[in-house]
């Protein structure tokens, strides 16, 4: 009972993330890839993402403070960020990256800075939400992760 | 008979004999500096039952490809990578291994995708990579095989025709090196080969591997004859290499000419400019190149102290007024020590600095770089390339200094973005290294290229005489400066020949001493 409650909770948590636009179908793709060989694949990839993206964000932060700004460099950092965000299905985060890319193109430093603040914010929110989700999933247990994958 | 042969020319070669479970086991190499993407794509490919190898760095990927020739069928490469531009890697792979390369990126910009096309990628996949996208990438392997076979078929028909006409064996194809990178080692293939060998008239011509050394000879010969006037027969004679045919040379010449053309075209379109930006804490910085350099025990000539905040953007060259120098390390950083220099990549569009009044200053300059600096940097560029190379030596090897041979410098590519951030960083460390080790670094610009080519070269020659013209600050063309460069070059020779296509360089007319050709 406890178990099926947990399961239900996890499923609905995930559904919310999709409904609210935090995640997109790429996340399903990750779940599809999870199998016996890599039973924790999704969580591993997501952890890897947050670890790497923190590093990237530090770089971007630094680059934003440099004078003069190298918009190309900033943009390339953002390209990478966008690529990895999209690889885990982080939809809102990806959108913010695209915004940032536009600001870089305009060479608008204030725009870039503001946009980056949004990126940071989204990053933080997503991280919290996914951490909560995976925590729940761990409680649900390995055998049921597959079933928790919707569609 | 005649008509049979002619018919053969138009026949599409039969598809390769593939193992029953093909494409299972397809050997794919994935290169991406982003660990999240690398992990995801790797898993996807395993799902397709491919045999996957991953590599976070382009240099490592290139080494792997070189060491395991014939060990991979297909490469997937990210576009924006810090240590080497994906397009550059693409070109190098095309030149050295002739394997199909698919670009992957989150960047769907028209320009970027176009670059993929121009530089020879067989496809471009957008991130996030989906299963459907990679499921059928095996088609590129088969297609490549077919294209190769077609080429061989054509060659064979031509040869047969000649046989008819002249009644003698046109070349010693039998002794040609057989390059079999794409063949799968399985029964079917072996059977196929044996059959072919038994039938001399249908014997396939082995593909020649254009090693750095061989290519060097080729380029020297072409230069001697003049790029426009060079013909395969004469090139072959000048090269004096046994076991290659006129046809091998002809097809290589065609490739080379297309490469040169691409170079000149992009150069026209490009706004030359090195984008420089201050880079303080680049996390991209790697010490490795410095280490390698250091281990060689080379004395790096350096003329000018590092300009702080210099960050060269790969591929964008800029000729600027003489200015402060860039630290050697910085310059070295421009070239990814490994692959770049040694691999004379094809001319990457826009990278060429030509002092024909086309020199521009930094494009989009948000750069803080002054022209001086860039100019210096440019110089350094070539130097670094030469000196920093750890694997490049092959190329350098083949070209003794002062022989007018061409030299390849590879630069990170034209496409701005990730590449050079590490440079400045490395530069600083290198400075420290130098200090610690009491090494003198002076920028030696002339060292390398030198082959006494001086004065103006016509455009074509310039292309092939890369690096020769890299001049030091204020140095006259052809001025060798110290002998250090020689030493450097000499000591850097040694390892695997890797360069293929020369890096184009030009000499600037006298009053503009710094001309840097970066490829």
Structure tokens at A126: 């997503």
Q: Which residue bears the tokens 């001697």?
A: B224
Cα separation, B410 vs B382, whole angstroms:
9
* Residue B34 CB contacts under 8 Å (≥ 6 apart), including other chains: A52, A80, A83, A84, A87, B78
Domain extents in chain A: 6-16+24-140
Cβ B129–A79 below 8 Å, yes or no?
no
Bridge pairing between strands B51-55 and B74-78? unpaired
pLDDT at position B232 over 70: yes
Mean of pLDDT values over B118-146: 93
- For B416, the closest chain A residue by CA position comes to A72
Q: Are B45 and B26 in contact (CB under 8 A)?
A: no
Structure tokens at B313: 């953007």
Q: Select from B40, B280, B416 the Cβ nearest to the Cβ of A62.
A: B280
Cα angle: B185, vertex B186, B192; to 5 degrees: 95
CA distance B246 to chain A (A): 45
B276-325 tens-digit pLDDT: 333 333 333 333 333 343 344 333 344 444 343 443 333 334 333 333 44
Q: Select from A38, A48, A73 the Cβ nearest to the Cβ of B35.
A: A48
Per-residue confidence (pLDDT) for residue B266, from 0 to 100: 57
Considering all CA atoms of chain A, what is the largest pairwise distance in Å, rounded to the nearest integer? 60
pLDDT at position B153 over 90: no
User: CA distances (Å), B19 to each of A23, B53, B122, B182, B184, in order?
Assistant: 40, 21, 23, 13, 8
Chain A residues whose CB is inside 8 A of the B106 CB are 79-80, 82-83, 86
Cα separation, A126 vs B308, whole angstroms:
38
pTM equals 0.52
Check whether the bond before B420 is cis (ω within 30° of 0): no
B28-75 tens-digit pLDDT: 999 999 999 999 999 999 999 999 999 999 999 999 999 998 899 999
pLDDT level of residue A124 (50, 70, 90 thresholds)? very high
CA distance A8 to chain B (A): 27
Per-residue confidence (pLDDT) for residue B265, from 0 to 100: 62
Q: Which residue bears the tokens 């694949």?
A: A41
Phi, psi dihedrals of residue B332, rounded to the nearest 5°: -60, -35
Please determine, looking at this structure, whether the domain spanning A6-16+24-140 carries the CATH number 3.30.1360.200.
no
Chain A residues whose CB is inside 8 A of the B307 CB are none
The length of chain B in residues reads: 519
Q: Select from B40, B276, B366 the Cβ nearest to the Cβ of A87.
A: B40
Residue among A43, A46, A60, A79 with most chain B CBs within 10 A, to mutate: A79
Chain A residues whose CB is inside 8 A of the B417 CB are 72-73, 75-76, 79
A67-87 tens-digit pLDDT: 788 888 888 899 999 999 999
Cβ A29–B128 below 8 Å, yes or no?
yes
Chain B residues whose CB is inside 8 A of the A45 CB are 36, 39-40
Direct distance between the N- and C-terminal alpha carbons of chain A, in angstroms, rounded to an integer: 23
Q: Select from B36, B281, B311 the Cβ nearest to the Cβ of A87.
A: B36
Q: Are B326 and B485 in contact (CB under 8 A)?
A: no
Higher pLDDT, B63 or B437: B63
Q: According to DSSP H, which parts of B169-211 are helical?
A: 187-198
Interface pTM (ipTM) of the complex? 0.92
Taking phi first (over 0 means left), then psi (-120 to 50 degrees means alpha), and beta for anything else, what does residue B428 get? alpha
Q: Select from B107, B276, B283 the Cβ nearest to the Cβ of A55.
A: B283
Chain A residues whose CB is inside 8 A of the B277 CB are 66, 68-70, 72-73
């Amino acid at each position: 009972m406890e178990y099926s409650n947990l399961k239900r909770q996890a499923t609905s948590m995930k559904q919310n993330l999709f409904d609210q636009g935090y995640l997109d179908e790429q996340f399903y793709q990750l779940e599809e890839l999870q199998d016996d060989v890599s039973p924790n694949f999704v969580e591993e990839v997501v952890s890897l993402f947050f670890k790497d993206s923190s590093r990237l964000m530090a770089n971007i932060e630094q680059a934003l403070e440099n004078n003069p700004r190298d918009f190309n460099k900033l943009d390339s950092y953002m390209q990478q960020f966008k690529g990895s965000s999209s690889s885990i299905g982080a939809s809102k985060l990806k959108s913010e990256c695209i915004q940032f890319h536009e600001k870089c193109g305009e060479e608008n430093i204030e725009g870039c800075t503001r946009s980056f603040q949004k990126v940071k914010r989204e990053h933080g929110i997503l991280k919290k939400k996914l951490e909560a989700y995976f925590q729940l999933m761990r409680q649900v247990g390995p055998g049921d992760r597959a079933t928790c994958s919707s569609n | 008979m005649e008509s049979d042969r002619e018919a053969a020319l138009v026949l599409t070669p039969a598809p390769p004999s593939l193992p029953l479970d093909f494409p299972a086991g397809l050997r794919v190499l994935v290169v991406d500096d982003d660990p999240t993407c690398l992990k995801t794509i790797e898993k996807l490919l395993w799902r397709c039952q491919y045999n996957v190898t991953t590599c976070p760095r382009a240099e490592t990927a290139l080494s792997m490809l070189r060491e395991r020739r014939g060990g991979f069928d297909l490469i997937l490469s990210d576009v924006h990578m810090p240590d080497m531009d994906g397009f550059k890697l693409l070109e190098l792979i095309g030149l050295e291994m002739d394997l199909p390369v698919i670009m992957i990126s989150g960047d769907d910009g028209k320009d970027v995708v176009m670059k993929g096309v121009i530089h020879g990628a067989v496809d471009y996949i957008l991130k996030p990579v989906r299963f459907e996208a990679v499921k059928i990438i095996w088609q590129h392997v088969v297609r490549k095989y077919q294209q190769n076979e077609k080429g061989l078929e054509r060659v064979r028909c031509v040869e047969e025709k000649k046989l008819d006409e002249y009644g003698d064996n046109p070349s010693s194809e039998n002794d040609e090196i057989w390059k079999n990178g794409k063949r799968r080692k399985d029964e079917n293939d072996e059977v196929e080969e044996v059959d072919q060998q038994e039938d001399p008239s249908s014997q396939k011509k082995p593909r020649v591997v254009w090693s750095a050394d061989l290519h060097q000879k080729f380029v020297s010969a072409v230069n001697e004859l003049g790029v426009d006037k060079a013909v395969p027969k004469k090139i072959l004679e000048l090269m004096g290499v046994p076991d290659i045919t006129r046809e091998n040379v002809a097809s290589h010449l065609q490739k080379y000419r297309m490469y040169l053309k691409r170079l000149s075209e992009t150069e026209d379109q490009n706004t030359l400019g090195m984008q420089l930006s201050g880079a303080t804490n680049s996390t991209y910085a790697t010490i490795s190149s410095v280490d390698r350099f250091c281990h060689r025990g080379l004395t790096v000539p350096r003329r000018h102290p590092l300009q702080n905040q210099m960050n060269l953007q790969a591929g964008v060259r800029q000729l600027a007024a003489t200015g402060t120098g860039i630290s050697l390390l910085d310059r070295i950083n421009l070239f990814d020590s490994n692959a770049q220099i040694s691999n004379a990549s094809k001319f990457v569009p826009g990278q060429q600095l030509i002092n024909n009044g086309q020199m521009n200053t930094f494009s989009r300059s948000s750069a803080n770089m002054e022209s001086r600096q860039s100019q210096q940097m440019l110089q350094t560029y070539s130097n670094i390339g030469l000196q920093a190379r750890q694997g490049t030596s092959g190329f350098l090897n083949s070209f003794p200094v002062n022989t007018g041979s061409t030299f390849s410098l590879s630069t990170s590519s034209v496409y701005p973005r990730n590449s050079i951030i590490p440079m400045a960083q490395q530069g600083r460390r290198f400075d420290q290294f130098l200090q610690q080790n009491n090494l003198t670094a002076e920028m030696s610009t002339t060292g390398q290229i030198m082959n006494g080519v001086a004065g103006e070269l016509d455009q074509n020659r310039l292309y092939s005489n890369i690096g020769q013209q890299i001049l030091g600050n204020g140095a006259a063309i052809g001025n060798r400066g110290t002998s250090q460069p020689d030493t450097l070059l000499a000591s850097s020779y040694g390892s695997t020949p890797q360069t293929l296509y020369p890096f184009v360089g030009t000499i600037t007319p006298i009053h503009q001493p710094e001309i840097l050709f970066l490829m």
